[in-house]
Structures are given as C-alpha cells and as structure tokens.
Amino acid sequence: MRSPNKKPEANHRQSKSRRSSGSSGVENDVDSAQLKKIGKVMGNQHVRDALHGSSAQRDALLQHISERLQVLRGAQQKEHLAFGREREWFKGVAKGADGYHLPDTTRWHESAQLYKKAGESLCNGQLGRGAQLIKQAAAAEEAAFKSVPKFVKADLESNQQAEEAPESAYMVNDEGSCTGRAKPAELRIADQILNLQDKMEATPPLPTKKRRWWDEDKEEEEEQENDE
C-alpha cells in the first residue's frame, strides 16, 4: 500500500510542470508579438522586393552565361574545322611562325566548366558564389581567345571574342543568396564543349625536296636576272 505522504510531492511536481508550461507559452507569445512588430515596421513588401531583386540578378547572370557558352561553342567549332585544313597551316606551325601553333579544342574547357558551375550555383540559390565563378570564367575565356592560332582567329565571327564579366557580377555580395530555380537548357552547351577533346600532339614534318642538278642551274639563272 502506497504511503499517503508521497501524494503531495506528486501534486507539487505536476503543479510545477503546469507552471513551467505556462511560462513557455508566455515566452512564445512574446516572441510572436515581437515578430509581428518587426513585420509591421519592415513590411512584407520589403521582403518581396528583396527576393524579386535577387531573382532578377540571378536570371540576368544566367542569361549572360547562356550567351557566353554559345559563343565559346561556336569558337570551338571553328577550331575543330581547322583540323581538316592541315595543308593550309602546317608549314607555318612547323616553322614556328608567329601566332602559328597546333589547334586544340580543349582550350575552351576551363571557361565552359566554370560557367557551368556558376549556372548551377545560381540555380541553387548561391548568388554570390555564382557571381564569383562568372568572373573566373571570364578570365579563363579571355586566356582561351588570346591563345587561338592565327589561322583559326581569321575564321572567327565578329561576335566570337572574349567578353568581360557583367557589372552586376561585381555588385553582388560574396555571401549573397537568391531563390532557386530550374536549370536553363543552355547549360547543356557546356557539356557539349567539354565532350569535344580533339587536339593534335605533334606537327607533321615538312616534306623534304630532293635537289636536282637542273635546279641549281635554274637558281643561278634567276640570280643573274636579278643582278641585271
């Protein structure tokens, strides 16, 4: 049989528990009231405007990425076509002429990879990270265009040239965020650029021409004509 002396203790604990629960409820009511006051001061419109502004920045940067990937893809295609015109440039490459070096479609990989990562970051809500990667991609893009051989550069369109990162990329806080969104289809262009890996490892040797005795006589005649 339980002792009747323990009942008051149990009642005391229950009463204390009820008082504690009541105290927590008061605190929650206070927090809720404070949040309402903040909401009245700042206004929901302020929050919506901030979200709209960051989303607009995100979409503008994604548009820039899409445009740059299309330019890089076009330039890479022009360089890829140069592999089939070897007879036009192999002498200049073999002789080490200024601006003549082997075509290489992988020179566009670094910038494409950075643009892809930038786009993914933006779509994941990482506005600041995306802006940082765009600036890195622009630097890699400039280096790629500077390294293009002369015979490829001559085939590039007027719009196929390096472009700096947009000003908006420099105006974003490194820790800036935005709402997420679905990836634009243009980001797949980066994969197309990365999948093209054609490069030439060595220049074919210059053909050697055998000298014949009549070639020497012909050269002497040409020298005499020049002297006259």
Within a domain: 62: yes
Average pLDDT over residues 86-96: 89
Mean pLDDT value of segment 111-120: 98
15: confidence class by pLDDT, cuts 50, 70, 90: very low
The residue range of the domain holding 69 is 47-204
What stretches of the chain show up as alpha helix (H) in DSSP? 6-42, 44-81, 86-94, 109-123, 127-146, 150-153, 167-170, 188-195, 213-227
Average pLDDT over residues 197-206: 72
pLDDT confidence of residue 21: 44
Contact 187, 64 (CB under 8 A): no
User: CB within 8 A of 59, min separation 6: which ones?
Assistant: 181
Which pair of tokens denotes residue 50?
A: 């901030």
Residue 125: the pLDDT is 96
For residue 7, being part of any structural domain is answered with: no
Is residue 122 pLDDT above 70, yes or no?
yes
Residue 168 is assigned to a structural domain of this protein? yes
With 80 as the cut, is the pLDDT of residue 37 above it?
no
How much is the pLDDT for 220? 59
104 belongs to a structural domain: yes
Rounded Cα distance, 111 and 102, in Å: 20
With pLDDT > 70 as the criterion, what percentage of the chain qualifies? 65
Query: Cα torsion at 218, 221, 226, 227 (round to 10°)?
Result: 150
Question: Which residues are CB-neighbours of 131 under 8 A, at least 6 positions away?
Answer: 61, 118, 168, 169, 170, 172, 174, 176
In a domain, 3, yes or no: no
- Average pLDDT for 41-51: 51
- Provide the domain count of the chain: 1
Q: Is 209 helix (H, G, I), strand (E, B) or coil?
A: coil
* Residue 130 resides in a domain: yes
Please state, in angstroms and as integers, the Cα–Cα distance from residue 24 to each residue in 19, 36, 149, following that order: 9, 18, 73
Report for 11-20, 95-104, 126-135, 210-219: range of highest mean pLDDT: 126-135
In a domain, 76, yes or no: yes
pLDDT of residue 20 exceeding 70, the answer is no
Checking if the pLDDT of 159 tops 50, the result is yes
- Residue 147 inside a domain? The answer is yes
Greater confidence (121 vs 86) lies with: 121
